[in-house]
Structure formats: structure tokens, C-alpha cells
Chain A
């Protein structure tokens, strides 16, 4: 089969764009895999002559405790976010009450605010609660500011579960809790996956809260450590690159394995425009 020239043009454009999008990953990889002798800036694009993990090793050595911090923060925050979002979504779709739409609207707005506008009170409040500078302070912060988006995703997900199921269960004699545990929750797995991926990714990738709530380098999550590393003149650029890849790896793996759900979260975040 011969391709008409228009098809060739389409594929050419698509492939060129793909190369541009992959370019940073290529540079990250080849840099990370070179020996220290080879990592001159002029040789940025060259393939390594031999596979050496020097940069990765050094980057990992300086980031490992921060990566652990990130995990310690992300896992509980994600779980709590999922539970809250699920319950809110359930109430806001299946147990609507006068004013529930207003509550939803007010929750939604919280998703768009620049967090700078709450940072000063947040820091002061976390200090009062004696969780400032701790991972728990960050967990609380992420769970609370995650309420809008997780509620939105679950609400949109539950809106597609027919209300008749809930009505049938009511007639069958189930209470508000039983309807949740026996009907809604068992049907929620895809919703939980979407929300978990979303929260995992955005909490892992967060920088603003991390840098303002934690000042002690021993407590800081990976994004802050990476930024400090990149801002320092002591650390070689190849180690920075390797560190960037390491810091990106958990979310990249999630994306590669569960990309389908990641896209769904994105679309939900876009308010199904």
C-alpha cells in the first residue's frame, strides 16, 4: 500500500513533535548514564561510550532521604484524600439537600485559588498546631486543599452511577451507610484509582507547600531537595539531571502503568468542558 502524501505529512509532523517532547528525557537519560569524565556540556547530546551510573548514584545518595519523605507524605495524604472525596461525592450526588449545590460551588472555587493567598495564615496556623515543619503538617495541608478536586472527580464519577440504584436500595431497606458500603463503594474502584493517581501525582510534584511548610532539609520532600540541588553551584549539572529523573520516576511509572486513569483525572479536573 502506498501512502498518499498527506498521510506522510501527518506522520512526519507527529513524529517530529514526538521527538521534541522526548528530547528532555533523552538528555536526562544519556547524561545520567555517562561517567563523570564524559559529562562535559559540549557532549550533552552524545551517547555514553559505556554505561556508568555515577550520576544516578550520586544523585540518589543525596536525595534518598527526601524521596523517603515524599513517600511518607504522599501515601497517607492520598488515602485520606480518596476517602474524603468519595464521601463528599456520594453525599453531593445521592443525598442532595438544600444548599448542597452552593457547598459544591464553594468547594470548587478552592481548587483554583492561588495558594499564595492562603500561605501566610497556613504557616501561622500550622505553627499554632505544632505541625509546622513536619511531614504531618504537609499531609494535613495536602488533604485539605485536595478536597475540592477529589470531591469533583468523585462527584462526576458518581453522577454516572444511576440514582435508581440508590433508590432501589432505599426501597430494599438500606440506610445511608449501607447504601455506601454495599452499593456505591463496590462500584467505586475506577473512581478511587483516578483520584489516587491524581493526588499521588500532584502531591508528589508539589513544591510551593513543601518549601513553605518544611524548612528543615531533613524533612523536605524530593521536589524541594531537587530545587536546592539545582540552585547550588557545588552540584554538577549531570547530577542535577540524574536527580531530576529520579524525582520524576515515581509519577512517570504511575503514568506509564495507569495512564488511562491519569487522563480521566485530567479531564475531570477540566470540569468536563
Chain B
């Protein structure tokens, strides 16, 4: 290689060096602010830091043990599970129903789509404020029937402290007991009615997003496939069941992951709409973490909650990320 070759070789590698250098600021920022901070939180979560003054004395998993023995946190876990199931289910159901209706050459499709989707553009805080009044016991939805001459509804919505659960002295409770699942007959494994109000508000906000995803998925199915099924004698309902739904499985999975991880993180909506609710009926880990840390100054316990939230989200999201990146690589 001659000397000009050497010079030019350096230029080629320098071009790549420039490329790497351009991404370094972002990579470092994320490395520090995401991964570094997560590690830092993890350290706090196993420390003694329970006042305003930082104290990094190592205490092992004590804080986590405290949490799992904490009545409020136990309820939070129950609430999160109930909320996630109801919220994801409602969004998927409504989103799919709306998408499959809109996919049938509906006039004014654009307008309908915009109406179903606009709540996405609004802050959870706004949603919370509005729905708090819409579901207020003596206002909103409860008095709507009066306007058409019917009586008002007497339902407490998010103020209702009822928790539906299997009572130990019922036949079902005894049956559970006999198979060693007696512990399930406990309000900690029940469904707090108040949380359905939060589910309604959250579904109002997010179901349009699921609709858009399903609609895009439906549009991506080649017409020829459906035509072929029609030629084969399938009805529209059968086409939906045997062609569209199976082909939409990846969309369903994506929607489930996105909604699911959001419901694990939910905070804004709850703080603006219901806060803890009666008997912590609408309390969630996000709110617990915020109050523990920034109002109670129990930093180590707050950090422990946040680490548990992170773990829950990771279990959901990391396999999904691998799956979708591999899928993308295959396309």
C-alpha cells in the first residue's frame, strides 16, 4: 500500500468513527439516565434510606420483604392484576369490534376513526378530571337517565368500597378450601368494584388506539385472501373467524403488550381521578411509589416498589422486543 492509500484508509475508518461519534451522545445519555439510574434505584431499594437524608447502608431484601407484608401493597398487586385484565380485555374487545365494523366500507370512516381516537391526544390528567365528574355519584352518568324521563341511577362508581370475592363460608369457598386453595377466599383475591371506574376512563382513552392497530392489520390482509375464502363459500362471519382473526394475532399480541405495560405503570389517571379510593380500592403501585417516596420520604421503599414495577414490565416487554426485532429482521 502506498502512502496515499494509508491516508485514504484512515479516511474510510474515520467516516465510520464519525458515525459512531454521532450516536454516542444519545447512547451515553440513555446508558446513564436509563440503565445507570435503574442500577442506582436498585441500590436504593436495598438500602436503609428511609428519611430525607440519603443512607446507602445495605439491608439486603428487607425493603422488599416489608412490601410484600404491607397491606396496602398487597392490595395494590390485586388492583393491578384486576385493572390489567379488565382494561386490556375491554380495549381489545372494543377496539376489534370498532375496527371490524369500520373495515366494512363505512361512509364517514375517517370521521368515526377521528372520534374514537381523539382521547389519545388528551392527557391522562384531563381524562381523570372529566371522568371523575362523569362518574360522580350524584352527577354525570347517574343522572343522565333523568333527562329521558327515567329515574336516576344510584351507584357509587369509584366511591363504592365493595370488593367481590369468594366468601369462605359459601359453598364455593368451601370447595376452594377442600382443594387447598382456601386462601383465595379473601378480599385480597377479589375484584374491587371501584376500579371499574378507572377502567372505563382508561378504556375511553386507549381503545381508539387498539382500533387503529386492528384496522391497519385488517387493511394489510390482502383482499385476495378474503375473496378466495368467499369463493370457497365462507360467510363474512366465518371469514372474520377463520381468516382475519388468526392473521391479526401479531397485532393482538402487540396491543396486549403495549396496553399491559401501560396498566402496570398507571399513575396519572389514578391520581387525578380517584387517588387511593375507598379502602385502597383504586390504589396502584405507581401511586404508592409516588406517595411513599415524594410525600413520605421513604426512599428505599419507594425504590423497591419501582424496581418491582420495572421487573413486571420487563417480563412482559423484553421477550416482546426480541420477538418483534426478529420478526422485523425476517421481513
Contacts and interface: CB of A to CB of B under 8 A. Distances in A.
Contacts of B212: 263, 266-267
Interface residues of B, number: 100
A27 B41 contact: no
A199 interface: no
A174 to B, nearest CB: 11
Interface size on A, as a range, is 35 or more
A118 B134 contact: no
A167 to B, nearest CB: 14
Interface of A: 10-11, 13-14, 17-18, 20-24, 27-28, 41-42, 44-45, 84, 87-88, 90-92, 95, 97, 100-101, 103, 105-110, 112-122, 124-125, 144-145, 147-148, 151, 175-177, 201, 204-208, 211-212, 223, 226-227, 230-231, 237, 240-241, 243-245, 247-248, 251-252, 254-256, 259, 262-263, 266-267, 269-273
26 contacts: A14-B112, A21-B116, A21-B118, A24-B131, A41-B133, A42-B143, A45-B144, A90-B22, A95-B16, A103-B27, A110-B34, A113-B34, A114-B310, A118-B33, A118-B40, A121-B41, A147-B29, A207-B271, A208-B290, A226-B272, A240-B129, A241-B133, A244-B125, A259-B114, A263-B117, A267-B212
B129 A226 contact: yes
Listed from nearest, the 10 A-B pairs whose CB atoms lie closest are: A273-B254, A205-B123, A95-B19, A255-B121, A118-B37, A121-B40, A116-B306, A121-B37, A41-B139, A117-B310
B130 A120 contact: no
A117 B306 contact: yes
Contacts of A151: 26
Chain B contact residues: over half helix, strand or loop, or mixed?
helix
B321 A270 contact: no
Contacts of B318: 109
A91 B19 contact: yes
A105 B321 contact: yes
A122 B106 contact: no
Contacts of A27: 130, 133-134, 140
